[in-house]
Structure 1
């Protein structure tokens, strides 16, 4: 079996995608649970909800950038 890695989470040094994930977890009220017990402590429903919102926001950002590109032309 693999080793469990319990590394400290530095909320000030996150990649943009990770930042979005933590932001959504915070909005849904899961951030405390994640910070104390890790992502594995979330239920499938909770993590699926976060994943769904990440996908939705990525689509919105992509659509917004395409609209901005069209306005520049």
Structure 2
């Protein structure tokens, strides 16, 4: 999913901080090839996200590229 958290976390803030208080209602996920965003959190819990070196994980298996995490995020 492509997740756009509005302006809750911007690049300037991320350069100097690594912990944020966010309103999970502001996360607005858009699945690839979809036009309308969907609800992201359906149940209370801990959600983990990662920015990886590819858009589609299945493509990494095809071209034998190593799976590499560029950044991570945990939302409770």
Q: Same fold (TM over 0.5)?
A: no
Larger radius of gyration: 1
More helix by proportion, 1 or 2?
A: 1
More strand by share: 2
**Under a length normalisation based on structure 1, what TM-score does the superposition of the two structures give?**
0.21
